[in-house]
Amino acid sequence: MLSDSRPLTKLYTIHWCLPIGVAVWIFCTVHREIQTNLTMTLDGVKSGTYQNDAYVLNFPNDTIYEHIVYSNAGLDNTQHTLIVTLDDLQDSDNPYNQMLFDAAKYS
């Protein structure tokens, strides 16, 4: 498990203005040997994180495609802004951190 005391550095941000809808999902390709640390902000409020600690997960395959890294259902039926930030853990033993975006779905 990753320690909360390590400082985070923002590497890359994806910003979406979503059409009117009540749910959103983000799908990414995840590899078991490469770490992925994401922070999701919805309408200006942190609404989730995704951490794939590559050396801990026991994936059946090396790579999983269209893996759900974020989902949020039950939103108000209005326009939303979603920001996904790729974070990097400073002083991490694993310097590789990536986000391989596959798709975003909303309804």
Q: 54: alpha, beta or left, given left = phi > 0 and alpha = psi -120 to 50?
A: alpha
* C-alpha–C-alpha distance, residues 68 and 64, integer Å: 10
Return per-residue pLDDT of the chain as tens, 107 residues. 334 444 445 556 777 777 788 999 999 988 877 778 889 999 999 999 998 765 555 666 778 889 899 999 989 998 888 888 887 665 556 556 778 889 989 88
Residue 9's CB: how many other CB atoms inside 10 A?
Answer: 11
Q: What is the pTM of this model?
A: 0.76
